[in-house]
Amino acid sequence: MKNQELESSMLKSVEAAQRTFRTIRTGRANPSLLDRIVVEYYGADTPLKSLATISTPDSQTISIQPFDISSLALIEKAIATSDLGFTPNNDGKMIRINVPPLTEERRKEFCKLASKYAEEAKVALRNIRREAIDKVKKLEKEGDISEDQSRDNQEDIQKLTDKFIAEIERHLAEKEEDILKV
């Protein structure tokens, strides 16, 4: 695995972790909180953002304007049954969600969730590292590269892994700070 490919793969893991972090509430209304919501629309699971315009008129409200008014009840049901704990208010044309301020206990739960997501991202990075090191060892075994080259490549792979793990830690720290900020 070339260094650019390896770096690209690891960068994708970090970006995926960032996207996942954005789905965690911080006490302010944010359209990305609804990114994980999937609505059963005409028998197919469809992401909410494909079915409606999602906006935040103020810091405590999310409004959802469906493209097809007949999907309103389905969207409301999907939000109500999600693990986000929101109660949607349907006025017949759009759905409004009031985002209540987080309690201290809930903030701690969200920090734990963020840590879990960060750990999953680190595992993904370590898997990429393991695959790359296995390829280097295979090249060494086949005699394509020397033992010194193999060791240097493995050190480079480890340095790259450490760099991206530190980046995930930084994103986690930012998210935790954001969650705990009242």
* pLDDT tens per residue, range 82-128: 877 788 999 988 999 988 887 888 888 889 999 999 999 999 999 99
Mean pLDDT score of the chain:
89
Q: What are 39-87's pLDDT values in tens digits? A: 988 889 999 889 999 999 988 889 999 998 988 989 999 988 887 778 8
Tell me what pLDDT residue 127 has: 95
Does this model's pTM top 0.85? My answer is no
Neighbour-count burial of 57, counting CB atoms closer than 10 A to its CB (0-12 exposed, 13-18 middle, 19+ buried): exposed
Q: Does 14 score more than 70 pLDDT?
A: yes
Give 163-169 contacts, CB < 8 A, sequence gap 24+: 164/10, 164/11, 164/13, 164/14, 164/125, 165/122, 165/125, 167/14, 168/14, 168/17, 168/118, 168/121, 168/122, 168/125, 169/118
CA pair distance 166, 87, nearest whole angstrom: 37
Tell me what pLDDT residue 130 has: 95
Look up residue 155 and give its two tokens.
């050190």
Tell me what pLDDT residue 1 has: 54
Q: Does 172 score more than 70 pLDDT?
A: yes
Q: Does 21 score more than 90 pLDDT?
A: no
Say how far residue 45 (Cα) sits from the centre of its chain.
19
Look up residue 46 and give its two tokens.
């469809």
Amino acid present at 98: N
Q: What are 133-164's pLDDT values in tens digits? A: 999 999 988 988 888 999 999 999 999 999 99
Q: Could you give the domains of the chain?
A: 3-21+103-180 (1.10.132.20), 28-98 (3.30.1360.40)
Tell me what pLDDT residue 182 has: 66
